[in-house]
Chain A
């Protein structure tokens, strides 16, 4: 309780300090924010270990007052937010962000801490709106420098507020059926099944929008590139998690689970997002856009786990449900770690080269060796291969789905193999995505003068990124470290024993299965060493002769001969051409004298977001049409406006008279 209050206090202090004009205090603001992160992480960890608390501050907010409580579930998300904040704040020291941006970041962190600790509907909505507003300010921070930022901020504002509206409707409906708006009263509420369905679907829509779930993901690949370098780690490492938190809190805790079809929807949305997200990530050439789509993918995987957990719980298979939820929450932790790392590295790259376009990067290995090494760690973790941390959580998730068969009847027998297939395909494409991001972005030769001039980022930025990398490695080698916290969070909503036990080797208690990440890592290291030494032993027996790199005899190898991100993704684009429907246009300009002599050929290719095209563009176009037609009503005549007011008032009065 005291620690949590300290963390909030430190955030507010940092925001105030950042507003001071002196130069030295800008560093102080980041340091205080980092401190707040440390304190919050400790406070969250303590809550998961059984030191939960609750508090009611009736005077702080009008109406219901501020009602806070930190249980293991909220504690887990608070701890994640704290840890991400530490990395992001250290990374941000000396980043040269504007003063206003510096001041808003701690407020954003405070909002992120407030949401999982909220214990009443009004507090929750207050925290949620604060989170939306502060993050919106941060997304829009650089709107003067780059024109695309304004548009991204507009998309984000609309999506996040539509989400807020549906959450508000859902939660207020729930509160109306209960005796009060405290979460304890909501848990005790007796509602009709139809009302519960409406509440769940409304909140699910809002939370899915925050988590970047398809088809509500459109803001995400826009907002991340728009946000300043050290803000996007906070958004993707900490903020999108709140969507998952919301689904778990409302669906499994406040509504105490529901019919199977709820969780079918969650599972289907998760699988759809995982596939759609990773496909677009594999096609993306903008580094941050790629990472944004990858967030959609990972949140999709998490939702598959949450959906499976709800599904099993509704089916009465408690231990399996607990296992699935553990896997999902572990993936939230893992995703926060590696995405923080990757976004920080991407921020460093953008600062060093001024571009995020993979087709213009490359050759950073010699110029930014530390950032390259750190990004490699993140890419390994994100591609869910051993010994990365993503592997462990995806393995757990697959185990829970594969073993669902005997437990969950026909419905499970159909759904679960499909979900397994979706996860497997996602994992495969994720490997291609991150091979592309790392190989094209960092290795080979620089593809542009900007990449050629890149210089390593300041030491603080490397430190912040290295901290996240250390967390990734720790999670990869010893996931048992966070197991007590996860178990506590899971048993909070699905109260059955411990789903996963063990120290070095993780053992599953519901089904037979175990995994020891350390041993896998050791075996891999041993195998790599053996192959390398064998190759060396064989190769040194032959005579060696230094030779030029083969360039077809046509002169020096240039960066134009390299694979670009676009060309690397092209075979995949061909395979998934029906799903992606890429667009390309070729304009040929011929010389004036003859149609056979070509002066210039211009080729443009684009992989449009189909959801946006099919779902959003018609709605936007209709809104614009409606707006321009409605403009005829407002012709500037004051008399007309007054008559509108008069007729409207009369109309309302007549209606009221008829009703009463």
Chain B
């Protein structure tokens, strides 16, 4: 049974998404802990798709980017280009502590910075890794379902 719909976030872009958010996942240098949680979010137990969130295979099809990990030097340009490739209105979710403020990797030689240093971030999810409930909550905040 799905819970009653959550309060929708108030930003302009989110209103246009009309209850359905197509998400492109970008691993900018994660330890893959966050990916495990994402996998369970979209698995049969938490099933984020029933709230209108869906993973897609290309940024061209996406409304939002779901970025994990600190942005490493090798992934910086790729992240920028992926962001460029998403049609507007577009949003960025920084998932996990690494994505928010580099977390345990802060100051490492291969790290450029947090996701917010490279592309504008709209939604943040805390935790290392964030539990599936927190991710679901953030996604429902975007889809409004």
Q: Which residues of A contact B (CB under 8 A)?
A: 545, 547-548, 550-555
**B84's contact among A547, A552, A554, A555, by CB below 8 Å, is which?**
A547
- Decide if B81 touches A553 in the complex (CB within 8 Å): yes
What residue of chain A has the Cβ atom nearest to residue B78's Cβ? A553
Q: Which of B57-102 contact A (CB under 8 A)?
A: 58-60, 77-79, 81-82, 84-85, 87-88
Within 8 A of A (CB), among B25-81: 58-60, 77-79, 81
Q: Do B88 and A553 touch across chains, with their CB atoms under 8 A apart?
A: no
Are B85 and A550 interface neighbours, CB within 8 A? yes
Listed by A's residue number, 21 A-B pairs whose Cβ atoms lie within 8 Å are: A545-B87, A545-B88, A547-B84, A547-B85, A548-B81, A548-B84, A548-B85, A550-B58, A550-B59, A550-B60, A550-B85, A551-B81, A552-B78, A553-B77, A553-B78, A553-B79, A553-B81, A553-B82, A553-B85, A554-B78, A555-B77
CA distance A554 to B26 in the complex (A): 13
Residue on B with the closest CB to A549? B85
Q: Which 4 pairs between the two chains have the least Cβ-Cβ distance?
A: A553-B78, A553-B81, A553-B82, A550-B85
Residues of A within 8 A of B84 (CB): 547-548
CB distance from A315 to the nearest CB of B (A): 59
List of A residues within 8 angstroms of B81 by Cβ: 548, 551, 553
Give, as a whole number of angstroms, the nearest-CB distance from A355 to chain B. Answer: 34
B90 → chain A closest CB, angstroms: 11
Interchain nearest-CB distance for A629 vs B (Å): 65
Point out the residues of chain B lying under 8 angstroms from A550, CB to CB: 58-60, 85
Q: Which residues of B contact A554 (CB under 8 A)?
A: 78
Bound complex: CA A551 to CA B84 (Å) = 11
Which residues of B sit under 8 angstroms from A551, Cβ to Cβ? Answer: 81
Query: What 4 additional pairs, Cβ within 8 angstroms, besides A550-B58, A551-B81, A553-B79?
Result: A545-B87, A547-B84, A548-B85, A553-B78
A contacts with B: majority SS: loop
Chain A hits for B88, CB < 8 A: 545
Min distance, Cβ B26 to any Cβ of chain A, angstroms: 8
| A554 to chain B: closest residue by CB | B78
**What is the predominant secondary structure among interface residues of chain B facing chain A?**
helix
Which chain B residues border A545 with CB–CB below 8 Å? 87-88
Contacts of B59 in A (CB 8 A): 550
B residues apposed to A, CB below 8 Å: 58-60, 77-79, 81-82, 84-85, 87-88
Residues of chain A with a CB closer than 8 A to B85's CB: 547-548, 550, 553
Specify which chain A residues have a CB less than 8 angstroms from the CB of B78 in the assembled complex: 552-554
Least CB separation from B85: chain A residue: A550
Q: How far apart sit A555 and B81, CA to CA, in the bound complex (Å)?
A: 9
Within the assembled complex, what's the spacing in Å between the Cα atoms of A555 and B88?
22
Q: Which B residue sits closest to A553, measured CB to CB?
A: B78
CB A558 to nearest CB in B, in angstroms, measures 15
Q: Could you tell me the distance between the alpha carbons of A545 and B60 in the complex, rounded to whole angstroms?
A: 13
Q: Which residue of B lies closest to A542 (CB)?
A: B87
Contacts of B60 in A (CB 8 A): 550
How distant is the Cα of A555 from the Cα of B77 in the complex, in angstroms? Answer: 8
Closest to B80 in A: A553
**Whole-angstrom CA separation of A552 from B58 in the bound complex:** 8
Q: In the complex, A426→B59 CA distance in Å?
A: 40
Contacts of A553 in B (CB 8 A): 77-79, 81-82, 85
B87 contacts which chain A residues (CB < 8 A)? 545
Assembly CA distance A465 to B60 (angstroms): 42
Chain B residue nearest to A551 (CB atoms) is B81
A552 and B87 CA atoms in complex are apart in Å by 15
In the assembled complex, the Cα of A517 lies from the Cα of B60 at a distance in Å of 42
Query: CA–CA, A553 to B58, complex, Å?
Result: 11
Q: How far is B87's CA from A548's CA once the two chains are assembled, in angstroms? A: 12
A543 to chain B minimum Cβ distance, whole angstroms, is 8
Select from chain A the residue with minimum beta-carbon distance to B26.
A553
User: B29 to nearest A CB, angstroms?
Assistant: 13
| Interchain CA distance A547-B90 in the complex, whole Å | 14
CB proximity of A560 to chain B, nearest CB, Å = 18
Q: Which residues of A contact B58 (CB under 8 A)?
A: 550
Please measure, in the bound complex, the distance between the C-alpha atom of A548 and the C-alpha atom of B77, giving whole angstroms.
13
CA distance A461 to B99 in the complex (A): 62
Contacting residues, chain B, for A548 (C-beta < 8 A): 81, 84-85
Residues from chain B with Cβ under 8 Å of A547 in the complex: 84-85
Task: Chain A residues near B77: list those with CB within 8 A.
Answer: 553, 555
Distance between B67 CB and nearest chain A CB, rounded to angstroms: 12
Chain A nearest CB from B56 CB (Å) reads: 13
Q: How far is the CA of A554 from the CA of B60 in the complex (A)?
A: 15
Q: Give Cα A547 to B58, complex, Å.
A: 15
Bound complex: CA A553 to CA B59 (Å): 10
CA distance A555 to B79 in the complex (A): 12
For residue B59, which residue of chain A has the nearest CB?
A550
Min distance, Cβ A102 to any Cβ of chain B, angstroms: 56
* Interchain CA distance A545-B59 in the complex, whole Å: 15
User: How many angstroms between the C-alpha atoms of A545 and B88 in the bound complex?
Assistant: 9
Q: How far is the CA of A76 from the CA of B79 in the complex (A)?
A: 66
A550 to chain B minimum Cβ distance, whole angstroms, is: 5
Closest-by-CB residue of B relative to A543 is B88
CA distance A551 to B58 in the complex (A): 11
Docked Cα-Cα span, A116 to B88, in Å, equals 69
Least Cβ–Cβ distance between A591 and chain B, in angstroms: 26
Complex CA–CA separation, A550 to B81 (angstroms): 8
Q: What separation, in Å, do the CA atoms of A554 and B77 have in the docked complex? A: 8
Q: How far is the CA of A205 from the CA of B75 in the complex (A)?
A: 66
Question: B82 → chain A, closest Cβ, in Å?
Answer: 5
Query: Smallest Cβ distance from B66 to chain A, in angstroms?
Result: 15
Q: With the chains together, A551 CA to B78 CA distance in Å? A: 9
**Bound complex: CA A548 to CA B86 (Å):** 11
Instruction: Tell me the complex Cα distance, A616–B116, Å.
Output: 70
Bound-complex Cα distance A551 to B80 (A): 12
CA distance A477 to B78 in the complex (A): 52
Q: With the chains together, A304 CA to B69 CA distance in Å?
A: 66
In the bound complex, what is the Cα–Cα distance between A545 and B77 (angstroms)? 20
Query: In chain A, what residue has the closest Cβ to B60?
Result: A550
**B36 CB to nearest chain A CB (Å):** 23
CA separation between A552 and B81, bound complex, in Å?
Answer: 8
**Which residue of chain B is the closest to A555 with respect to CB atoms?**
B77
- The docked-state distance in angstroms from the alpha carbon of A622 to that of B77 is 64
